[in-house]
A and B are shown apart, each in its own frame.
Chain A
């Protein structure tokens, strides 16, 4: 059953990456300015050289040809060249991925710790003032654009990971707080408390197993949120990661680079969601 589930996820993953790639390639092909090249404006180039540049682009006119030749190159490890940065896309991604990974891991870790700590303490304390303060804090953070948080983190000299955490935290907190408060008001939890069970035992033996699948679902989604937040954070905090690369590619309309980053980001978010779904399935299987 588990193998079937994993195989299903892998199939969906491959299909979405292929279709998503085709969609991106189509958009790139149809985007205004696809046929133009800044180099053609170079007065040092001869008419023959400009003609050669035109000819090099002619073969990309057919969308399917463009996509399949692109996929063929990808399968051979060649992700093409970035027009704007004049470097192989593969090198750019390899150099920048560790920064983004570190940023995402630290940001997500901080966000989850803060969200779980606050929502747990709110559920335990049952103090309306504390609950209102933490809700107001998360509500205010939800009203701030991610890019503003990035600018404020630069102003206050705060690490980018903290800015990612502040963007992801309120979404996790709202969900976790609702789950925990609902869970703590269930009859069997109230009975366990009345019988004198310790808070730790109630939490790990009765509450966590009940809410684990939902928390795992939001864990998958939180990766997607963090990846989205990485763009403004890296762009505005000057962190040389994939998010900054995506922003630079967008500003320079470096379409080959954008297509590759799109596919990479799709893969990462889908893997995170599929991973969360498979673990959630395993947890539910163990329970039943």
Chain B
């Protein structure tokens, strides 16, 4: 592991630990308002100042990081499982199943990712409870993000179908589900792992985009997307630099993932 990867690992570990310890580091919570301190700059009481509703920005960043970093992997897991089932099964079965699955995949892939997300999010009710908005946002990411992975898994499963060890298993009488789960699926694992890790930064960025556009996690619940929405009100970059902390954190986390995933992308390809 080179120095950059070690640094990336350390940074991710620190951010994860800090967000996990949000209850202790910011016991007042993300929604508590301090009406005596509206939009104040950083101080000893509020390390990153407060927002326009008097809520502690440091607490919101910690809790927002927790939501984004917990749910992006959950969405990645869902999308990878869907890709494994749809792409893996289609590739394994071949013929008309593979063609049908790839036609559906092409249909999804023909739409730009952000456009697809916004359109589908708009079909859901917008005035929902904050918790429901978190679930809907990340569920959508998971349900719509399987297509690229499914394509790769379909191709991999199709190549495994004609592999020698699968032919031998078939000749030995192994059929159907047993052949798929015991012989094909384990060999898809490296691609599945790679797709899972690659999806996480993609989903983090997508949630941020949705949040800034007002289609992500609803107030008062924080997420990186909703925290970045604050940048909309800025007049100049140097005016309130502490408002850029969520952005810096997001860039550092996504960059850390990129460093860690540089070899995973080759596996996925």
Contact = CB atoms under 8 A, between A and B. Distances in A.
A225 B114 CA distance: 9
Interface residues of B, number: 39
Interface in B204-254: 205, 208-209, 212-215, 225, 228, 231-232, 234-237, 247, 250-251, 254
A20 B112 CA distance: 13
Contact of A258 (B110, B119, B225, B237): B119
Contacts of A152: 237
Interface stretch (B34-42, B85-93, B122-130, B165-173): B122-130
Contacts of A211: none
A66 B18 CA distance: 52
Contacts of B193: none
Interface centre among B115, B215, B236 (most CB of A within 10 A): B115
A33 B127 CA distance: 12
Interface stretch (A24-32, A88-96, A116-124, A197-205): A24-32
From DSSP, what is the main secondary structure of chain B's interface residues? helix
A187 B100 CA distance: 42
A155 B236 CA distance: 6
B254 A148 contact: no
A53 to B, nearest CB: 21
Interface string A248-262: 011101010010011
Interface in A1-59: 16, 19-20, 23-24, 27-28, 31-33
B199 to A, nearest CB: 15
A66 to B, nearest CB: 15
Contact of B254 (A143, A235, A262): A143
A235 B234 CA distance: 16
A28 B118 contact: no
B114 A228 contact: yes
Contact of A156 (B115, B237, B251): B237
A33 B209 CA distance: 25
B111 interface: yes
Interface residues of A, number: 47
B127 to A, nearest CB: 10
A145 B212 CA distance: 9
Nearest to B253: A143
Contact of B123 (A28, A147, A251): A28
Nearest to B118: A250
Interface centre among B120, B205, B213, B237 (most CB of A within 10 A): B213
A250 B237 contact: no
A147 B228 contact: yes
A111 interface: no
B213 A232 contact: yes
B115 A265 contact: yes
Contacts of A183: none
Contact of B215 (A19, A148, A155, A251): A251
A236 B212 contact: yes
A227 B205 contact: no
Given A16-B110, A231-B114, A250-B119, A147 B213 contact: yes
A164 interface: no
When A and B form their complex, which 9 residue pairs have the shortest distance between CB atoms, in order from nearest? A228-B112, A250-B122, A147-B212, A145-B208, A143-B254, A31-B123, A228-B114, A147-B209, A143-B251
10 contacts: A27-B123, A31-B123, A32-B125, A140-B255, A145-B205, A155-B236, A224-B112, A235-B213, A250-B213, A258-B122
